[in-house]
């Protein structure tokens, strides 16, 4: 661990805190449907979309109608992507003449990008055509991110509105978020990446001569455009198999730093937007403080373990930290920080191979996902996931003070608590259930590269990543099989939408309630005590649920490493 490493982490957090309010202000304008400086140019485009689709953006929807439209829209896009992948051999922009994707892989990939998971059981540069990358995947990166932010807006309205029957208009929310936030930001972002050497071309490949005089074919394509929304939308799906460890996706330390910032930027801004929406920005800062406590604890452990290295290798005379699976151009500190950022935000992009981390260093990214998108989380999904835990925390606090729980002016009653528990219980139920199935079946056990606890961690990480809509992997698992493609596809769909439906039901229930002012007996939800309670609830729920599986995997792996045994 070095001073430069800690300086990198400190600079990263400081810049994010500086941009949280400006990003939050822009998001708040979209939340309220206000005009922005871009409306002069893009306003006619927005209105044109509404006219073509026959949508009245002022016609608001109740939570059920909002949910039905959201699911139907995503289901149609899923089928479209599946068709593109299956038919890519006869579709244009296929310069390398790739065949159609197999049914099980197309099923897995279509669900993956629809749910903002972006799990990839394939090598993109040797499997997908440029059309599949652009029309099949990149569009999903925009829409799934916009959907997540729109759902967060819907829950914000539930807390902010008084005796209301509606929580917004799904079509208007998604259109405005895409048109006024994601597209403009990604155009600028893509130009920055191109300036730093990221390709943006419809060419399939280029032949080059290496320094040794050998001939090599390098895959190319529209990389920068996909890379921009991959990071900003916390999608994570890479154009290349090596993802952000590939120099064409992440050329240097500057792009690496900007990519990490962009992963967290919208998540940080949404906490401020929530506070503004409920009329008390301190509420947003309290949530952000709780997120940062968990995030910084994770960064510290991962950096410490990776910098400490492997004692088995030390005994063989190989000194230094653990550089296995890491890019020399980034080093240990930037790789450790990136791994925690990407799993804290359910992004899934990687600039190092998590499978090659030390046992405890790799446990933190795994545990981040198991906490359920609450450590900043995916765009939109992070804040509404954290608010589900806030409902549980305020319920516990209400028991402490002996009165009905209240949060930001709304009484939290049995219906909201039951729905929050239902949503939170989805992750452990599906993660642990499917991991158990894969760990005892022949098809499941054929996947891990390693044996023992490390092999178990590879399986556990895969289902954790799928259900948590993250998309990163312990890359030792061979997942491109009908067994894993099918099971992981189902896990991704359940992990996305079986949480969203109870969350929207909570939004509708809260919106219908009147405002309850705070009194002397109310539990404060803006100070250090509240932040500590939030952190405690998140860690206790996550820790008690997943501790046995972590003990069987990374903890056992670490203890074996100390004894000199590697897997």
Q: Where are the domains of the chain?
A: 35-251
Q: Could you tell me if 410 and 394 are in contact, meaning their C-beta atoms sit under 8 angstroms apart? A: no
Query: What tens digit of pLDDT does each residue of 134-168 get?
Result: 988 988 899 999 999 999 999 999 999 999 999 99
Q: List CB contacts of 93: < 8 A, sequence separation 6 or more.
A: 129, 130, 131, 134, 202
62: helix, strand or coil: coil
Determine the Cα–Cα distance for residues 457 and 452; give it in Å rounded to an integer: 9
Tell me the pLDDT band of 77, cut-offs 50, 70 and 90.
very high
Tell me the pLDDT band of 312, cut-offs 50, 70 and 90.
confident
What pLDDT is stored for residue 56 in this prediction? 92
Q: Could you tell me if 432 and 460 are in contact, meaning their C-beta atoms sit under 8 angstroms apart? A: no
Query: Could you tell me the CA-to-CA distances from 301 to 50, 84, 557 in Å, in that order?
Result: 49, 43, 16
Percent of the chain with pLDDT over 70: 100
Tell me the pLDDT band of 126, cut-offs 50, 70 and 90.
confident
Determine the Cα–Cα distance for residues 481 and 545; give it in Å rounded to an integer: 29
Q: Could you tell me if 423 and 538 are in contact, meaning their C-beta atoms sit under 8 angstroms apart? A: no
Q: Within a 13 Å sphere around the CA of 392, how many CA atoms are in the beta-carbon half?
A: 22
Q: Is pLDDT at 515 greater than 90 in this prediction? A: no
Tell me the pLDDT band of 218, cut-offs 50, 70 and 90.
confident
Specify the range with the lowest mean pLDDT, choosing from 175-179, 180-184, 235-239, 496-500: 235-239
Query: What tens digit of pLDDT does each residue of 457-507 get?
Result: 999 999 999 999 898 888 788 999 999 999 999 999 999 999 999 999 999
Specify the range with the lowest mean pLDDT, choosing from 181-185, 302-306, 541-545: 541-545
> In sequence order, what E strands does 245-371 have?
none
Determine the Cα–Cα distance for residues 471 and 473; give it in Å rounded to an integer: 7
- Could you say which DSSP state residue 126 is in? G
Q: List CB contacts of 350: < 8 A, sequence separation 6 or more.
A: 236, 243, 244, 245, 338, 339, 342, 472
Show the 3-state SS of 161-178: CCCCCCCCCHHHHHHHHH
Determine the Cα–Cα distance for residues 137 and 120; give it in Å rounded to an integer: 11
If you write DSSP's letter for every residue of 469-509 in order, what string do you get? T-----TTS---SHHHHHHHHHHHHHHHHHHHHHHHHHHHH
What pLDDT is stored for residue 319 in this prediction? 78
222: helix, strand or coil: strand
Sign of CA pseudo-dihedral 535, 289, 258, 345: positive
What pLDDT is stored for residue 488 in this prediction? 95
Please tell me which residue, 373 or 276, carries the higher pLDDT value.
276
Q: Which residues of 266-288 are buried (b: 16+ CB within 10 A; e: fewer)?
A: bbbbbbbbbbbbbebbebbbbbb
Looking at the whole model, is its pTM more than 0.95? no
What does residue 357 show for φ and ψ, rounded to 5 degrees?
-70, 160
Determine the Cα–Cα distance for residues 463 and 488; give it in Å rounded to an integer: 7
Two tokens at 142?
A: 């925009």
Two tokens at 80?
A: 């479209």
* Rounded average pLDDT over 39-61: 92
What pLDDT is stored for residue 492 in this prediction? 94
Determine the Cα–Cα distance for residues 488 and 494; give it in Å rounded to an integer: 10
Query: Could you tell me the CA-to-CA distances from 503 to 31, 52, 375, 486, 508 in Å, in that order?
Result: 18, 31, 18, 26, 9
């Amino acid at each position: 661990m070095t001073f430069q490493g800690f300086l990198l982490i400190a600079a990263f957090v400081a810049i994010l805190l500086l941009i949280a309010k400006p990003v939050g202000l822009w998001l708040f304008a979209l939340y309220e449907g206000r005009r922005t400086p871009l409306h002069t140019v893009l306003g006619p485009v927005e209105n044109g979309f509404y006219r073509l689709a026959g949508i009245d953006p002022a016609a608001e929807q109740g939570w059920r109608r909002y949910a039905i439209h959201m699911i139907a829209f995503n289901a149609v896009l899923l089928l479209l992507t599946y068709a593109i992948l299956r038919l890519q051999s006869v579709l244009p922009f296929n310069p390398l003449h790739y065949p159609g994707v197999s049914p099980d892989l197309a099923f897995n990939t279509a669900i993956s990008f629809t749910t903002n998971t972006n799990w990839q059981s394939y090598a993109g540069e040797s499997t997908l055509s440029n059309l599949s990358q652009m029309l099949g995947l990149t569009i999903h990166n925009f829409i799934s991110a916009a959907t997540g932010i729109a759902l967060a807006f819907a829950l914000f309205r539930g807390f902010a509105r008084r005796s209301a029957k509606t929580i917004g208009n799904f079509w208007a929310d998604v259109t405005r978020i895409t048109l006024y936030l994601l597209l403009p930001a990604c155009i600028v972002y893509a130009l920055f990446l191109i300036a730093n050497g990221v390709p943006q071309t419809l060419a399939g490949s280029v032949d080059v001569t290496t320094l040794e005089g050998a001939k090599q074919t390098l895959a190319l394509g529209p990389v920068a455009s996909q890379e921009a929304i991959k990071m900003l939308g916390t999608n994570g799906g890479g154009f290349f198999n090596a993802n952000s460890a590939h120099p064409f996706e992440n050329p240097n330390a500057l792009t690496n730093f900007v990519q990490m910032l962009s992963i967290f930027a919208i998540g940080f801004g949404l906490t401020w937007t929530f506070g503004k929406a409920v009329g008390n920005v301190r509420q947003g800062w309290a949530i952000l403080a709780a997120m940062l406590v968990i995030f910084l604890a994770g960064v510290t452990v991962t950096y410490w373990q990776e910098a400490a290295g492997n004692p088995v290798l030390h005994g063989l005379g190989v000194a230094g930290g653990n550089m296995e699976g890491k890019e020399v151009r980034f080093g240990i500190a930037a790789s450790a920080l990136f791994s925690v950022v990407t799993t804290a935000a359910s992004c899934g992009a990687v600039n190092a191979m998590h499978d090659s981390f030390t046992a405890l260093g790799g446990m933190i990214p795994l545990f981040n996902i198991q906490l359920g998108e609450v450590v900043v989380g995916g765009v939109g999904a992070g804040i509404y996931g954290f608010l589900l835990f806030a409902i549980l925390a305020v319920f516990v606090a209400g028991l402490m003070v002996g009165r009905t729980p209240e949060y930001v002016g709304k009484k939290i009653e049995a219906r909201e608590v039951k729905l929050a528990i239902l949503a939170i219980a989805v992750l452990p139920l599906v993660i642990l259930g499917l991991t158990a199935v894969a760990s005892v079946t022949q098809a499941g056990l054929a996947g891990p590269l390693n044996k023992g606890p490390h092999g178990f961690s590879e399986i556990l990480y895969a289902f954790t990543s799928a259900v948590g809509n993250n998309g990163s992997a312990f890359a030792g698992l061979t997942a491109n099989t009908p067994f894993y493609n099918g099971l992981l596809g189902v896990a991704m769909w359940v992990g996305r939408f079986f949480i969203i439906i109870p969350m929207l039901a909570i939004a509708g229930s809260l919106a219908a309630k009147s405002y309850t002012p705070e009194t002397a007996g109310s539990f404060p939800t803006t100070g250090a005590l509240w932040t500590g309670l939030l952190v405690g609830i998140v860690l206790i729920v996550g820790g008690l649920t997943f501790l046995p599986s972590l003990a069987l995997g990374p903890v056992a792996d670490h203890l074996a490493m100390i004894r000199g045994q590697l897997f």
